[in-house]
Amino acid sequence: MRFPSIAACALALARSIPVALAASCPDGLCLKTRAALSSFQVASELGPLLSKGALIFGPEDPRWANATERYQTYLPPNIRIVVEPAVEADVPIIVKYANRHSLPFLAVNRAHGYTITLNKFDGLQINMAQLRNITISNDRESALMQGGVYGAQVIQALWDQGYVTSTGSCGCVGILGPGLGGGHGRYQGMYGLVSDAFIKLNVVLADGSAVTVSDKSHQDLFWAMRGAGHNFGIVTSFETKIWPKNLDTWYYRNLIFTQDKLEALFTELNKLGGNGTQPKELGHYGMYLKAAGIADPVIWWSFSYTGSQEDAEPYLQPFNDLGYISYDDGNVPYPDIAPAMQTGIDDPLCEPGLERISATAGLQVFNLTTQRQIYELYEKNINQYPELVNSWVVMEQYSVEGVRAVDPASQAYPMRDDYLLMAIDVDYTTNHSLDAIAFEWVHETRDLWNAGQPERKPTAYVNYAMGDEPIEQWYGWEPWRLAKLRALKRQYDPHGRFNYYNPITY
Ligand X SMILES: *[C@@H]1O[C@H](CO)[C@@H](O)[C@H](O)[C@H]1NC(C)=O
Ligand Y SMILES: Cc1cc2nc3c(=O)[nH]c(=O)nc-3n(C[C@H](O)[C@H](O)[C@H](O)COP(=O)(O)OP(=O)(O)OC[C@H]3O[C@@H](n4cnc5c(N)ncnc54)[C@H](O)[C@@H]3O)c2cc1C
Rounded to the nearest 10°, the torsion over CA 304, 290, 451, 276 is 0
d(CA 496, CA 498): 5
111 scored as a contact of ligand Y (CB under 6 A):
yes
Give the footprint of ligand Y on residues 134-163 (CB under 6 A): 147
Between 405 and 451, name the residue whose CB sits nearer to ligand X.
451
Interacting partner of 170 out of ligand X, ligand Y, none (Cβ under 5 to 8 A depending on kind): ligand Y
432, burial (CB in 10 Å: exposed 0-12, middle 13-18, buried 19+): exposed
Residues that bind ligand X (CB under 6 A): 66, 129, 133, 135, 275-276, 364-365, 367, 369-370, 385, 387, 417, 431, 433-434, 451-454
Which residues fall within 8 angstroms of residue 27, CB to CB, at 6 or more apart?
none
Residue of 18, 113, 123, 503 interacting with ligand Y (CB under 6 A):
113
d(CA 465, CA 463): 6
Interacting partner of 235 out of ligand Y, ligand X, none (Cβ under 5 to 8 A depending on kind): ligand Y
**CA–CA distance from 207 to each of 34, 47, 56, 318 (Å)?**
19, 20, 21, 56
Phi, psi of 378 (to 5 degrees): -60, -50
What is the closest distance, in whole angstroms, from the C-beta atom of residue 92 to ligand X in the complex?
16
Interacting partner of 85 out of ligand X, ligand Y, none (Cβ under 5 to 8 A depending on kind): none
What is the closest distance, in whole angstroms, from the C-beta atom of residue 21 to ligand X in the complex?
36
What is the closest distance, in whole angstroms, from the C-beta atom of residue 430 to ligand X in the complex?
9
Q: What track of x and - describes contact with ligand Y for positions 169 through 198 (by CB under 6 A)? A: xx-xxx-xxx-x--xxx-------------
Between 125 and 450, name the residue whose CB sits nearer to ligand Y.
125
d(CA 126, CA 120): 16
What is the closest distance, in whole angstroms, from the C-beta atom of residue 323 to ligand X in the complex?
25
Burial pattern 116-142, b for ≥16 Cβ within 10 A else e, equals bbbeebebbbbbbbbbbebebeeeeeb
269 scored as a contact of ligand Y (CB under 6 A):
no
128 scored as a contact of ligand Y (CB under 6 A):
yes
Using CB under 6 A, count the residues that bind ligand Y: 33
438 touches 428 (CB < 8 A): yes
d(CA 418, CA 365): 9
168 scored as a contact of ligand Y (CB under 6 A):
yes
Q: Which residue is nearest to ligand Y (CB)?
A: 177
Give the footprint of ligand Y on residues 190-249 (CB under 6 A): 230, 234-235
Which residues fall within 8 angstroms of residue 185, CB to CB, at 6 or more apart?
166, 167, 168, 169, 178, 194, 283, 398
417 touches 478 (CB < 8 A): no
- List contacts with ligand Y (CB under 6 A): 71, 106-114, 118, 128, 147, 168-170, 172-174, 176-178, 180, 183-185, 230, 234-235, 349-350, 463, 501
